[in-house]
Amino acid sequence: MSGALRVAVDREACCGSGNCVRTAPEVFDQDDADGLVLLRRSEPAPGDWDAVRQAAYNCPAGAIAVAGP
């Protein structure tokens, strides 16, 4: 889909703070084993874009990359 926001996560960089899950639970989750980020949607709905950007900004480990509009 052209013009979509794309999200990627780096589980090796993740520190498990959970900020992303609290900010954008439709897009991010944490695994039960070690609390590291899980990406639920690599192309979130437009209504979630602001929350995804905020989650990336607030990630203390810089483990979330956002590209697109």
- pLDDT value at 39 more than 50: yes
Q: Is residue 1 part of a domain?
A: no
The CATH number of whichever domain residue 63 belongs to comes to 3.30.70.20
Q: Which long-range contacts (CB under 8 A, 24 or more apart) does 35-43 make?
A: 36/11, 37/9, 37/11, 37/63, 37/64, 38/9, 39/7, 39/8, 39/9, 41/7, 42/6, 42/7, 42/8, 43/1, 43/4, 43/5, 43/6, 43/7
Q: pTM for the full model?
A: 0.91
* Percent of the chain residues topping a pLDDT of 70: 97
Domains: count for the chain: 1
Residue 54 lies in domain: 6-67
Please tell me the predicted confidence (pLDDT) of residue 3: 83
